[in-house]
Amino acid sequence: MLLRLPKATKTTTSRLFSTNTLPLHSPLTNSPSHFLSLFQECKSSSHLRCLHQQILARGLLSPLPSSSSSESPLSQLLGAAIMSSYLACSALTDAITVLERLTPSPILWWNLLIRQNVQTCQLYSAFSLCFRLRHAGARPDQYTFPFVLKACGELPSYRRGTLVHALICTTGFDSNVFVCNVLITMYSWGGVLVDACQVFDDITKRGIDDVISWNSIVACYVKGGGPRFALKLFAEMGNGVSERSSKRSDVISLVNILSACAALRALLQTREIHGYAMRNDLYWDVFVSNAFIDVYAKCGMMEDALKVFQGMGNKDVVSWNAMVTGYSQNGKFNEALELFNEMKRHKIELNFVTWSTVIAGFAQHGHGHEAFQANAACWF
């Protein structure tokens, strides 16, 4: 007797993903456009890997767009979709594996990988990618090095920074001012003023420097404890970059140099820079105005600081804090307290700096009860 077996049914579809991953069904097709539509349904990196495996099994993965590629545009887009999806899922290891197997290996995706590693604080990985991409046949460009140098500066690692510097020279990007400006900043973060100056001197001799180059080296000396030399460089700036650029010192230049003036209590130079800012229409910027308030306060010139404050069209909490702190540090606590109360009336958001200044002022003037009340108020 024959066993009563169920009748076979014709299967029209096959499951693309396992039942434990994603409930998608897909007809047996080798159409890249079909797989492109499925990327929108991937909710995790595990789903994406399943889709990637199906694409590999069907032999659909081709190099990303290239002038020498003979693959169809849809097939090229498929490779780009895999890379962008892995990046979106933060599956950086999978993205690197895909890139190292592509021929040619496009530098655009390597740059995106390096940037994402820096943004997620995977700094050592960002550094290693700079050299792995060369083994994959990719050539770094001017957008590759800034993020790698940022990783070296944030580590900080002088040795790794010099290795990247050597690679910049061997690939010919030591004549690219965009890359060289980041090099100056990287050495500044590491406190290596000698190397930062060497890069700066090299690009000025070549005549490729710009206002960012000068801002970077001035900031380097301000941060590195050389405010006097920073003032000297700022004075030379007008005779240097302005000969080749229609834009001389900018907002960043003024904020940098005013920090040097504040460190030196250089009132005369501050007044000169103040006049320069007004003549060149740079005075309107809130960061510049805040910097002027700070340096005037540190020079003990609260009347000048008040004029700047009152002339500001837009004030932020930093502006108010600079005035309150300036009054308090110059022994004018009544004025500081009056401005503090005005902040509350205008519903200016009070932050830690505001409360710390007021509490310290109360304590220094023997108002222990008021200091205690202010301390309690800042937490509730």
Is residue 25 exposed (0-12), middle (13-18) or buried (19+ Cβ within 10 Å)? exposed
**C-alpha–C-alpha distance, residues 102 and 304, integer Å:** 63
pLDDT tens series, the chain, 380 aa: 444 444 444 443 334 444 344 434 444 566 666 677 677 677 677 877 887 777 777 776 654 444 444 445 665 677 777 777 777 777 888 888 877 777 667 898 899 999 988 998 999 999 999 999 988 888 999 999 999 999 999 998 899 999 999 999 999 999 999 999 999 999 998 889 999 999 999 999 999 999 999 999 999 999 888 999 999 999 888 664 444 444 467 899 999 999 999 999 999 999 999 998 998 888 889 999 999 999 999 999 999 999 999 999 889 999 999 999 999 889 888 888 888 888 888 888 877 787 777 777 666 655 554 544 555 455 44
In the block, tokens 């929108």 appear at 40
Residue 158, both tokens: 């002088």
Taking alpha carbons only, the member of 249, 246, 247, 245 closest to residue 233 is 249
